[in-house]
Amino acid sequence: MIKTVHAQPFDYPFDIRHTALLIIDMQRDFVEPGGFGASLGNDVSLLQAIVPTCQRVLQAWREMGGWVVHTREAHKADLSDCPPAKLNRGSPTLRIGDVGPMGRILIRGEPGHAIIPELAPIEGELVIDKPGKGAFYATPLREALEVRQITHLIVMGVTTEVCVQTSMREANDRGYDCLLVEDGTESYFPQFKQATLEMIRAQGAIVGWTAPSEALLQALAA
């Protein structure tokens, strides 16, 4: 079933049978007050603003029978998969592994590790826990995509310039054609989001394509 999204820098065709919706790190630790994002001094309401858009796209994708992959950034309880450079960087009020309002920060199984209820995975959807920024690093994602013969990824989630962009660049290097939903991604720094959108679609889609959610929804409904 071939669909075409009116995207930048040019149209993005995809076969839904070979395309996955990849939702990056829509976790309580990043989106809700009291999590890791807030501990860094960020305004998490900026990220909360994209939730309704992500819900609409996710629902439409499910109705079409499309496959969904969710990622969560988090670490083992003993922090053995968290390098010191990541653990010690910056000046947050809470560091990875510290106890916060939603349990230990960015630790698997803690309340803050969970995907927000509005976008909770359902049976048949893949959930990938990743220790790094990219969805492919030290995860079984590539193998899972190959089993399903996935060639295209439609991407949403947070934050645009960090985990989303890193995952798209990893995917691009592995041969996947990726579309980023412009209003289905956000940053704590709006200027970083805009710069990332421009970088992704520059030079004839050097990393991938971008399009507003309405263009994707129209393509799905066509």
Q: Which residues are catalytic?
A: 25, 130, 163
Residue 179's SS3 state is strand
CA atoms of 178 and 199, how far apart (whole Å): 13
Strands 67-73 and 126-130: parallel
Q: Which candidate, 40, 53, 175, 165, places its Cα nearest to that of 100?
A: 40
Residue 47 backbone dihedrals phi, psi, to 5 degrees: -75, -35
- Count of positions (residues) in the chain: 222
CA atoms of 138 and 116, how far apart (whole Å): 23
CA atoms of 150 and 145, how far apart (whole Å): 5
Q: What distances in angstroms separate CA 61 from CA 69, 94, 160, one per listed residue?
A: 12, 36, 21
CA atoms of 155 and 167, how far apart (whole Å): 9
Query: CA angle at residue 109 from 107 to 112, to 5 degrees?
Result: 65
